[in-house]
Structure 1
Amino acid sequence: MPNLARSSLPLLLLLFAARGAAAQDGFGLKGHLRFNSSDISAQRTDTLPSATGFGLGAEFVLPLGIGLGISGYTSGGVHDADLQTTSLVVLAEANYFLKLLPLVSPYVGIHAGLGRYSRDDSDDIRRPELRDGTTELGYQVGARLQLNSLLGLDAQFRRMSTSALREQGGALERSQFLIGVTLF
């Protein structure tokens, strides 16, 4: 009997993992920390440097693995943010999730800037519009580790679009690394 239990353990783990991958479909909320590429390259220890920015977003992943989302981000730390003065750079993004492995989904995508918004803009909300042409789009490459049906961890490299680079200010570079959490 112990041999049967031992041999069925990998099968049970595989079924649990495959169930978690199904959460790649549907609506999700995500949050992430941003790191400049040069900060990561210069770091020679096992610890991450301080985040240069953070962001929040929402996405909807269709059953075919195509994710459509919107996100906003700002430079500075989470604790440094002041709701009265902080402005967000807003992006529209599309990703394609490659469902190759039960727990890990690599993805590639593109994004375009929708503008920069602050609390002052809430009095006179203007309609967001794409600010990047086809030659100015940004791209991202990453992977999502699906821990269970409700929680995923993301790691991503992002090359910012032309308009997002203009809008984000000098603290953030064009090439960035993101580490984030997605809730389904």
Structure 2
Amino acid sequence: MFGNDKAVEVEPAVESNGGLDSLAGMVAGIDGEAAAALDPSLGQPGQQADIPQGPDYLRGASGIVDMARAMIGGYAPGAEWDEATGQRMALSLAPVFEKYGWDMEAAMPCELVALVVCGPVLYQSARAVAFKIKADRYALEAARPGVDDPNTVVGAQRAAASAAPDGGNAEALAAAVRSAKVFPDM
């Protein structure tokens, strides 16, 4: 080849008695065993490898709608929607979740979960505490000495107001009518 322009025939190093073919078969077998060790489903004939599926956006949307329904029911019992409306809402939210890649099942922010779970309970607790404070204030007002005694000023006012047929508001109503501006008809 170099310097000598004669064509040189090169004989194959391995004869054609299956040497290279058998070597290729051994390599393929070893590769198959290695792949089966890494993924056991590949080693079993007739079984497909498990292909990871994407997120189930409809299921995530249904979960969000159910959580919102429960939260609204916690804040205002009886104001939540029915099951059919919730399903329609989830069906309309699923494409939005898919469009933006929001996988609420796998990666819902912990703050949102805490808000949905704790918010209604805290709200109803605050309402109960406010009601209890008002009830306690009323009980303290009613328990003051002389409130029910007609011989005291406050007691006499209460007795007069409760004795009047309209609750004692007739005099106030008459005074308001006398002081009201009268506009002429046009």
Which TM-score bucket, shorter chain as reference? under 0.3
Which one has the bigger strand percentage? 1
Name the structure, 1 or 2, with higher relative contact order (CA <8 Å, separation 6+). 1
Q: 1 or 2, which has the higher helix percentage?
A: 2
TM-score by length of 1: 0.22
- Per the normalisation by structure 2, the TM-score is 0.21
